[in-house]
Amino acid sequence: MLFAAALLVAVVVVCRVVQAVLIGRMQKLAKKTKTQVDDMIVEFLSSLRTAFFAAVALAIASRVLILPSVVQRIIDAVALIVITVQAITLAERILELCITKFVMKTGDGEAAPKFLRFLIRFGLWSVGLLLVLSNLGINVTSLITGMGIGGIAIALAVQNILADLFSSFSLYVDRPFEVGDFIIVGQDMGTVKYVGLKTTRIQALQGEELVIPNSELTNSRVQNFRKMQRRRVVFSFGVTYDTSVKKLGAIPDMVHEIIGKAEHADIDRVHFQKFGESSLVFEVVFYVTSGDYNIFMDTQQEINLALTERFEKEGITFAFPTRTVHMVQ
């Protein structure tokens, strides 16, 4: 009995000494590196309390004694539970760190969302519970079977909610858009205000809030204007048929000059495109060097005003729908 007690104390002391040495070395290493892995190890080692070492030491010391089987099983169960809890805690921190690192590479670097943490914890603690029960001699086959059948029944009952939940996870990992992005989904368009577990909320241009199920977003084509660096603009205008050939030939140079003076515009081409029903049609293609819609509209307005002023000065008339009827007697 005295030997067992001495062994118990010795194991606890040795574990504490090893813990202190490891924490000291890891802290020195953590100061020299930028990674968070060593910081996480220091935090985990610091979280190990005397109760944990005592449980492990008790399980080791009990081996040198002849104890009743019930008592031995209780000691082993306590040690198993304590070790399992610590192992799950460590695994949970490692997985959360990995997910956070992945998010930092693909998005804004924020921590894993709450629902993902819940899924990780639920999975780890479920596996830990089954492991403890199995090591305690309890038959977990029927329990696993029951959980499987129950899980299928629950999944069928809430399949729409689960579809939106996994769609939310897909949106979070794939990141086709983020809060603040302007997107178009089908006939709807607006700014993303919130991405939730089941729905995504969009502030429409008219001011109302659109609530769209996440499953619909993952099954639809989404246009995201956040990464747009240049906007291609195509517009046409027509001049009257009585415009002289000389002035028609000068129009492309006029348009080039006008668009060239615009701050956020790069001209691509200007062509006399076709003979329309009531006008001679010119097609203009240019690029706005910004994805901002307001800058695009300001640039288009600037070009339109400059064209109107220049054509008025040159005596060129914009055409409007007209029809000439020749009466033959």
**Cα-to-chain-centroid distance, residue 7:** 53
What residue segments make up the domains of the chain, in order of their start?
A: 2-155, 177-224, 231-314
Per-residue pLDDT reduced to its tens digit, 207-241: 888 888 888 888 888 888 877 888 899 999 999 99
Angle, helix 37-47 to helix 2-32, in steps of 10 degrees: 150
pLDDT digits (tens, 9 = 90+) for 84-98: 777 777 777 777 766
Task: Give 6 or 254, the one with higher predicted confidence.
Answer: 254
Task: Give the separation between CA 288 and CA 225, rounded to whole angstroms.
Answer: 14
By the 8 A CB rule, do 213 and 164 touch? yes
What are 34-76's pLDDT values in tens digits? Answer: 666 666 677 767 776 666 667 777 666 666 656 566 666 676 6
DSSP 208: P
Maximum average pLDDT range among 34-38, 159-163, 191-195: 191-195
Region 231-314: CATH code: 3.30.70.100
CATH architecture of 177-224: Roll (2.30)
115-129, 158-172, 204-218, 241-255: range with lowest mean pLDDT: 158-172
> Does position 168 have pLDDT exceeding 50, yes or no?
yes
8 Å CB contact between 177 and 190:
no
C-alpha span between 285 and 53 (Å, rounded): 75
DSSP secondary structure code for residue 321 in this structure: S
pLDDT at 150: 58
Segment 311-328 mean pLDDT = 86
Q: Is the pLDDT score of 13 beyond 80?
A: no
Computed over every residue of the chain, the mean pLDDT equals 77
pLDDT tens per residue across span 269-302:
999 999 988 899 999 999 998 888 889 999 999 9
Helix runs in the chain, H state only: 2-32, 37-47, 50-61, 69-106, 114-135, 141-157, 159-174, 214-218, 245-261, 293-314
Distances in Å between the Cα of 20 and the Cα atoms of 15, 28, 45, 91, 98 are: 9, 13, 9, 22, 26
pLDDT, one tens digit per residue, over 16-30 is 777 777 778 777 777
**Cβ–Cβ under 8 Å, residues 65 and 108:** no
Q: Tell me, letter by letter, the H, E, C secondary structure of 75-88.
A: HHHHHHHHHHHHHH
Are the beta carbons of 282 and 237 closer than 8 angstroms?
Answer: yes
